[in-house]
Amino acid sequence: MSNTTYSATSGIQQEERLLFEHAHEAPESISLPGVQGKAPSSLDVFKRKSAANIPGLSEPETVRHFVRLSQWNHGIETGFYPLGSCTMKYNPRVNEQVARLPGLAHVHPDQPEDSVQGILGLLYELQGWLTEISGFKDVTLQPAAGAHGELVGLMMIRKCLDARGEQGRKKVLVPDSAHGTNPASAALCGMYTVEIKSGADGRIDLDELKKHLDDDVAALMMTNPNTAGTFESDIKEICQLVHDAGGLVYGDGANLNALVGVARPGDMGLDCLHINVHKTFSTPHGGGGPGAGPVAVNDTLKPFLPVPRIEKDGDVFKVVTEDKQSIGSVLSTLGQTGVYMRANAYISAFGHNHIHKIAQDAVLNANYVLSRLKDVYHVPFEGLCKHECLLTDEWQNKHGVKTLDIAKRLIDLGFHPMTVYFPLIVHGAMLIEPTETESKETLDSFCDAMLEIAAQCEAGDTQALHDAPVKPIRRRLDETQAARKPVLVWSD
């Protein structure tokens, strides 16, 4: 059942040395503008005693080096990338074009306000849109990524509790399905976490939650839809319970793609929500970042928003740098504004008339994949999924095949694997998030590949799974060796 259109092949892929292994001396260096003199003699005593040993290649060699490296990568532009919890959707090219306009890309953050009204306007506009889409009252653009947003959210929660005279509350409840950044952020904020065990349906169990609600509770951090891809339908009761106990509810918005334009977390009782614009709002992941993690807040937390922030005074945009109750600042600047240019362009392309189609098609695609795979892969939690679906390797285990083998085999079949071994609440998790930018044809060919793998398991024909991947430039890499004797820099 292999699909030739989508299966991986190897064309001309070149091996490429490390920069440091290029044999020849550095060529004449590139010509640089500016004052063509030397540094003043006052710096002489501080000069480097030995050169840094940065290799230096000619321009054609540099281009070829990095283009070859790029060809060893899989990106959303190369193919399907159903990485659960990561929302690998298409990143519109026009967003790249507009973010590079000189009037946006080459602006210094300390230029006088009257010289940056254009970019402040775009950022202010985005603040309004993110607030509206999430259903809150205001938003900060300062956090640089989702985890940074978590820290900011918890800082605001602590400050709010302080203002209520409840300094003692430091307990943060985190479902066992939560992303690792949630407990790590709580610790960074000087709080401690208590894990709540998920119910049999993978959702927050109200009775379990109640057991942990006491006078120490500062917050519940919840992800909705949760990391199993299902909606916490008891959301209203959950928020009510936490609020009645004197705590606040932090929303991890990594999964907002399931709700955009269809429902708003702010309407459901949460106190704040971080938004991963590099997920929901299509800004590219860049092989690990940069992203941005704006945090939207309700009226309870609004007074504590970080500074600096952008406000509008008549027709003029202003940067406010001080605010009595603010938690202060968490970054040198207003935020990752280049990332926000792309998010603004993305929302502009949908407008009020199309924005809900993001969530609709994302959820449609995930449920479609689930419906095609549910008879051959174990589905731990029955029912509708939202933008991603969770499977496990339970049925393949009896043939000696694990999630990792399935993932690696997918590579040979031409697909980026799903997220593996997360969430931690099921054994051998496979979390599949197709996103709304994939066609039915792509989804079908991926499902065909998954069915083929399952069939191979059933037939006991599993060698190819254990050997996989064989097609990419490298086969399975030895992670134990890398960690045991870490080599993080090259030595000549």
Partner 1 sequence: MRYLPHTNSDRQAMLESMGLHEIMDLFTDIPKEFHTKLGSLDLPDALSEAGIVKKFTKAAEKNRHAGNTRCFLGGGTYHHFVPAVVDYVISRGEFLTAYTPYQPEIAQGTLQALFEYQTMIARLTGMEVSNASMYEAATATAEAALMARRVTRKTRTVIAGSVNPRYRTVTENYLSRLEGDYVEVAMGEFGTDLSQVIDAIDETTACVIVQYPDFYGSVYDLAPLREACDAHKCLMVVAFSDVSAFGLIESPGAYGADIAVGSGQALGIPMAFGGPHLGVFACKQKYLRQMPGRVCGLTTDADGKRGFVLTLSTREQHIRREKATSNICTNQGLMCTAASTYMTLMGDAGLETVANHSAAALDLLVSKLPNGVVAADGAHYNETVLTFASQEKRDAFISEARNNDIFAGIPLETIEKGAEQIDGNRHLLVATTEMIEEDDISDYIQAMEVAL
Ligand X SMILES: Cc1ncc(COP(=O)(O)O)c(C=O)c1O
| Window 314-353: residues binding partner 1 (CB under 8 A) | 327-339, 341, 345, 347-353
Tell me the per-residue interface mask from 258 to 297 with partner 1, x by CB under 8 A, - otherwise.
Answer: -x-xxxx--xx-------x-x---x-xxxxxxxx-x----
Rounded Cα distance, 303 and 324, in Å: 8
Q: Give burial (CB, 10 Å; 0-12/13-18/19+) of 142.
A: buried
Residue 291 is a binding residue for ligand X (CB under 6 A): yes
Question: Pick from 431, 415, 418, 423: which is nearest to 471 by CA?
Answer: 415
When the beta carbons of 252 and 436 are compared against ligand X, the nearer one is 252
When the beta carbons of 47 and 324 are compared against partner 1, the nearer one is 47
Residue 181 is a binding residue for ligand X (CB under 6 A): yes
Least distance in angstroms from the C-beta of 396 to partner 1? 19
Nearby residues of 79 by Cβ (< 8 Å), 6 or more positions away = 6, 414, 415, 416
Q: Which stretch binds ligand X (CB under 6 A): 145-153, 195-203, 204-212, 314-322?
A: 145-153
Q: How many residues does the chain have?
A: 492
Residue 252 is a binding residue for ligand X (CB under 6 A): yes
Rounded Cα distance, 216 and 226, in Å: 24
When the beta carbons of 168 and 398 are compared against partner 1, the nearer one is 168
**Which residue has tokens 């916490």?**
232
Contact 142, 329 (CB under 8 A): yes
Rounded Cα distance, 251 and 423, in Å: 17
Contact 422, 428 (CB under 8 A): no
Query: Of 134, 227, 257, 282, which one interacts with ligand X (CB under 6 A)?
Result: 227
Query: Of 147, 273, 355, 369, which one interacts with ligand X (CB under 6 A)?
Result: 147
Contact 279, 257 (CB under 8 A): yes
Interstrand relation of 309-313 and 295-297 (parallel, antiparallel or unpaired)? unpaired
Q: Which does 246 bind (CB under 5 to 8 A by kind): partner 1, ligand X, none?
A: none
Query: Of 3, 7, 75, 166, which one interacts with partner 1 (CB under 8 A)?
Result: 75
Residue 160 is a binding residue for partner 1 (CB under 8 A): no
Least distance in angstroms from the C-beta of 54 to ligand X? 30
Residue 11 is a binding residue for partner 1 (CB under 8 A): no
* 419: β partners: 431
Residue 145 is classified by DSSP as: S
When the beta carbons of 332 and 459 are compared against partner 1, the nearer one is 332
Q: Which stretch binds ligand X (CB under 6 A): 65-73, 139-147, 356-364, 380-388?
A: 139-147
Residue 389 is a binding residue for partner 1 (CB under 8 A): no
Which residues, 83 to 112, sit near partner 1 by CB under 8 A? 83, 86, 88-92, 94, 96-98, 100-112
Exposed e or buried b per residue across 14-53, where buried means at least 16 C-beta atoms within 10 angstroms of its C-beta? eebeebeeeeeeeeeeeeeeeeeeeeeeeeeeeeeeeeee
Question: Pick from 231, 204, 202: which is nearest to 220 by CA?
Answer: 204
Which residues, 14 to 43, sit near partner 1 by CB under 8 A? 16, 18-20, 26, 29-30, 32-40, 42-43
Residue 129 is a binding residue for partner 1 (CB under 8 A): yes
Residue 464 is a binding residue for partner 1 (CB under 8 A): no
Using only C-alpha atoms, the chain has a radius of gyration, in whole angstroms, of 25
Q: Which does 230 bind (CB under 5 to 8 A by kind): partner 1, ligand X, none?
A: partner 1
Least distance in angstroms from the C-beta of 79 to partner 1? 10
Residue type, 126: L
When the beta carbons of 459 and 487 are compared against partner 1, the nearer one is 487
Which residues, 197 to 226, sit near ligand X by CB under 6 A? 223
DSSP string for residues in 315-369: TEEEEE---TT----SSSSS--HHHHHHHHHHHHHHHHHHTHHHHHHHHHHHHHH
Q: Which does 450 bind (CB under 5 to 8 A by kind): ligand X, partner 1, none?
A: none
Residue 395 is a binding residue for partner 1 (CB under 8 A): no
Rounded Cα distance, 216 and 248, in Å: 12
- Spatial strand order of the sheet with 138-140 comes to 138-140, 295-297, 272-275, 248-253, 217-223, 171-175, 192-196
Residue 378 is classified by DSSP as: B
Query: Of 153, 229, 251, 293, which one interacts with ligand X (CB under 6 A)?
Result: 293
Tell me the per-residue interface mask from 83 to 102 with ligand X, x by CB under 6 A, - otherwise.
Answer: --x-----------------
Query: Of 276, 396, 437, 456, which one interacts with ligand X (CB under 6 A)?
Result: 276
The residues binding ligand X (CB under 6 A) are 85, 145-147, 179, 181, 223, 227, 252, 254, 276, 291, 293
